Amino acid sequence: MADANPRARTVAQLLPAARQGDAQAMEQLLQLARPDIRRCAQRHCAASAATDDVVQEALIIVYRRVGMLREVAAFGGWVLRIVQRLCMRPVLTWLRAEPLAQVEDHLDWSHRPDHELRHDLAMAIDSLPPLYREALLLRDFEELTIEEISQRLGVTREAAKSRLHRARNLVREYLSPRTSAGHARTPDGRA
Question: Is position 68 within any domain?
Answer: yes
> What average pLDDT does range 43-65 have in this prediction?
81
Do the Cβ atoms of 174 and 136 come closer than 8 Å?
no
50 vs 101, higher pLDDT: 50
Average predicted confidence (pLDDT) for the chain: 76
pLDDT at 46: 66
Question: Is position 189 within any domain?
Answer: no
Question: Is position 186 within any domain?
Answer: no
Is the same domain home to 81 and 40?
Answer: yes
Range of the domain at 131: 98-175
Is the same domain home to 18 and 59?
Answer: yes
The Cα 79–Cα 73 span in angstroms is: 11
DSSP class of residue 47? S
Is the same domain home to 79 and 104?
Answer: no
Question: Is position 107 within any domain?
Answer: yes
Q: Taking each helix axis as running N to C, give the angle between helix 157-175 and helix 114-127, from 0 to 180 degrees, rounded to the nearest 10.
A: 130
Is the same domain home to 106 and 147?
Answer: yes
> What average pLDDT does range 102-116 have in this prediction?
56
One-letter identity of residue 38? R
DSSP class of residue 188? T
63 vs 94, higher pLDDT: 63
Is the same domain home to 73 and 110?
Answer: no
Is the same domain home to 21 and 77?
Answer: yes
Question: How many domains, in total, are found in the chain?
Answer: 2
The Cα 82–Cα 154 span in angstroms is: 28
- Which SS3 state, helix, strand or coil, does residue 78 take? helix
Residue 125 sits at the vertex; the CA angle it makes with 120 and 129, to the nearest 5 degrees, is 140
Is the same domain home to 62 and 120?
Answer: no
Is the same domain home to 76 and 118?
Answer: no
pTM metric for this prediction: 0.46
pLDDT band for position 80 (50/70/90)?
confident
DSSP class of residue 111? G
Residues recorded for the chain = 191
Q: How many other CB atoms are found less than 10 A from the CB of residue 7?
A: 10
pLDDT band for position 90 (50/70/90)?
low
Contacts of 118 (CB under 8 A, 6+ apart): 95, 96, 100
Question: Is position 79 within any domain?
Answer: yes
Is the same domain home to 25 and 56?
Answer: yes
Q: How many other CB atoms are found less than 10 A from the CB of residue 37?
A: 23
pLDDT band for position 31 (50/70/90)?
very high
Domain containing residue 154: CATH number: 1.10.10.10
Is the same domain home to 136 and 170?
Answer: yes
